[in-house]
């Protein structure tokens, strides 16, 4: 079963919303800070939740890339 994240947020029951938020944020920070390559259009129609609260990004038409210097500066800003 898959659902758009906006449908999951509004639903009751089978989804662990706290886990989904943690996984989503961790995956996005990893994309930016660790890899410097990220999904640049993360609106609700491009993020689905799969069975077992798995976060799934779709539609990779817009991607962003960061160089190492920018990633270091961004990491310092977060800290």
41 is a catalytic site residue: yes
Active-site residue, from 7, 12, 16, 41: 41
Closest CA to 17 of 30, 31, 3: 3
With vertex at residue 34, the alpha carbon angle to CA 16 and CA 17, rounded to the nearest 5 degrees, is: 10
With beta carbons less than 8 A apart as the criterion, state whether 51 and 14 touch: no
Query: So which residues are the catalytic ones?
Result: 41
């Amino acid at each position: 079963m898959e659902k758009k994240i906006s449908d999951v947020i509004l639903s009751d029951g089978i989804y662990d919303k706290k886990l989904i938020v943690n996984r989503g944020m961790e995956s996005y920070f990893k994309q930016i800070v660790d890899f410097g390559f990220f999904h640049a259009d993360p609106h609700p129609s491009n993020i689905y939740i799969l069975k077992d609260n798995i976060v799934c990004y779709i539609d990779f038409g817009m991607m962003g890339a960061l160089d190492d210097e920018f990633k270091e500066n961004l990491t310092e800003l977060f800290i």
